[in-house]
Amino acid sequence: MRVHEACKKTGLSRKAVHFYIQEGLVCPAKNENGYYDLSEVDLKTLKIIQRLRRLGLPIEVIHEAFRYPISLNFFPCIAMFINKSRKSMKWRPSWK
């Protein structure tokens, strides 16, 4: 599927999809005419990236997750990000 179709299915902008391709998070094939041909796997990857970004994860952490998908290296990276985020936010439970 072409980029505009992936945008419709994911809700991402064209700019975001091209950014993730440029960053190497998604690696679709290219047609003879130079257009990207995104597979269903690419579409699922974009949806995962979208969810992780909504959680506030930076691109560097997402790169780490995709570089070592089964490795436990990803979890300390996420924990470190969450701890930094908690310290920078003035979070208080809603019940107080």
Number of other CB atoms surrounding residue 42 within 10 Å: 21
Please count the other Cβ atoms lying within 10 Å of the Cβ belonging to residue 5: 11
Longest dimension (CA), the chain: 61
The predicted model scores a pTM of 0.72
Read off the pLDDT of residues 22-71 as tens digits, 9 standing for 90 and up. Answer: 999 999 999 999 999 999 999 999 998 998 888 788 888 888 777 766 55
Classify 45 as helix, strand or coil: helix
Q: Give the phi and the psi of residue 36 in degrees, each rounded to 5.
A: -70, 145
The rounded distance, in Å, linking the Cα atoms of 32 and 36 is 9
